[in-house]
Amino acid sequence: MSVFSEDDARLVLFSAIEGGQAFWSREIKEKGAVDVYARLISEGYDINKYAKVIAKAQSADLKDIKTRISLSKAIFLTPSSDEWPTSLNDLAAIPIGLVVKGDVAALSQRSLAIVGTRNPTSYGMRIAGDFAAGFVDREWNIISGGAYGIDSAAHKGALIAEGQTVAVLATGIDVAYPAGNVRLFAEIAENGALVSEVLPGAHAIPVRFLNRNRIIAALSQATLVVEAAFRSGSLRTARDAAELLRPVMAIPGPINAPTSEGCHRLIGERAAEIVTSVSDAIELISAL
């Protein structure tokens, strides 16, 4: 297969390389996608270390990849695209590209990430929805991960307030995961955007949830954690945001509630600022 353009080469590399790897991001940034692709298929990289990537790149069908994206009514964004959200360039592992369905401009608007547990209390659900709506009223977008619980409450809060929301998925944009959010994803695609670092049809594996957390953090000016267990993926998003020097905030809860342990841990470690109202949060972000 011959790849003629930088974007075509990026698309093949996107299909062959799992996201979130600083080595490949650096290689592509420094050498260009065409050169990295050419070296891969001629086995110019360590054949033992990168056997899977080499095999995927060698067998990639560019036409089929493009068809899968267009059938999903999506586009493929690269760092050279005019619509590329430049905030992602702050990451150590800049995405090779992104598959986006919906309003691409939503990725570059002023945004707040709201993340938290998949098993929230009714208090957490209400707070997530209220903060989402409050920020939408002040012309912010809401970004989250499309999961059950706090993520869903944040997306819904933004939609009810007639704002834009972006879901960064750990699967292909055509894979309803979790299945119960099919309708929510359709609404998000109409009033914001669905974003993925994997091709349509790709299913969830654990590493993809960690990878997408860094994208949620990087797309947002600030991150708010609403209910999180002591060991929660949401804490990873908070730490990703802190590494990017973006404000991190956490909602306090009852001291004996397991769902608030993660938030209290962040606050106790001074890794997050405590906030109790939307105006609190706005004031904090504005001061930084």
Q: pLDDT tens digit string along 70-89?
A: 999 999 999 999 999 999 99
54 and 136 together in one domain: no
Q: Give domain status of residue 98, yes or no.
A: no
User: Would 202 be classed as within a structural domain?
Assistant: yes
Segments forming the whole domain that contains residue 217: 104-287
Q: Does residue 167 lie within any of the structural domains?
A: yes
Residue 126 to residue 129: CA distance in whole angstroms = 5
- Domain co-membership, 130 together with 259: yes
For residues 124 and 59, state if they share a domain: no
Tell me the mean pLDDT in the region 230-259.
94
The domain boundary, picked from 71, 93, 114, lies at 71
**Do the domain assignments include residue 40?**
yes
Residues 12 and 122 in one domain: no
Amino acid at 242: A
pLDDT > 80? residue 4: no
Rounded distance, CA 259 to CA 100, Å?
32
**Does residue 41 lie within any of the structural domains?**
yes
The pLDDT assigned to 165 comes to 98
pTM: predicted TM-score of the whole model, two decimal places: 0.95
Q: What is the pLDDT of residue 93?
A: 97
Residue 283 amino acid letter: E
The confidence score (pLDDT) of residue 154 equals 98
The tens digit of pLDDT for each residue in 158-204 reads 999 999 999 999 999 999 999 999 999 999 999 999 999 999 999 99
Give me the number of domains the chain comprises: 2
Q: Are residues 172 and 66 in the same domain?
A: no
Residue, of 173 and 3, whose pLDDT is higher: 173
- Domain presence at residue 96: no
pLDDT given at position 3: 55
156 and 278 in a single domain? The answer is: yes
CATH code of the domain in which 174 resides: 3.40.50.450
For 273, phi and psi rounded to 5 degrees?
-90, 140
The string of pLDDT tens digits covering residues 99-120 is 999 999 999 999 999 999 999 9
Last residue of a domain, one of 48, 71, 94: 71
In a domain, 37, yes or no: yes
In this prediction, residue 2 carries a pLDDT of 52
pLDDT (average), residues 142-151: 98
Domain membership of residue 249 (yes or no) is yes
For 111, residues 6+ apart whose C-beta sits below 8 A from its C-beta are: 140, 141, 142, 143, 166, 219, 220, 221
Cis peptide upstream of residue 178 (ω within 30 degrees of 0):
yes
Exposure class string for 128-159: b at 16+ Cβ within 10 A, else e: bbbbbbbbbeeebbbbbbbbebbbbbbbbbbb
User: Is residue 67 located within the same domain as residue 188?
Assistant: no
Does the pLDDT value for residue 231 go beyond 90? no
Residue where a domain terminates, one of 51, 71, 91:
71
**245 and 111 within one domain:** yes
230 and 138 in a single domain? The answer is: yes
Q: Are residues 126 and 251 in the same domain?
A: yes
Over pLDDT 90: what percentage of the chain?
Answer: 95
Query: Is the same domain home to 237 and 163?
Result: yes
Q: What would the mean pLDDT of 39-53 be, rounded to a whole number?
A: 93
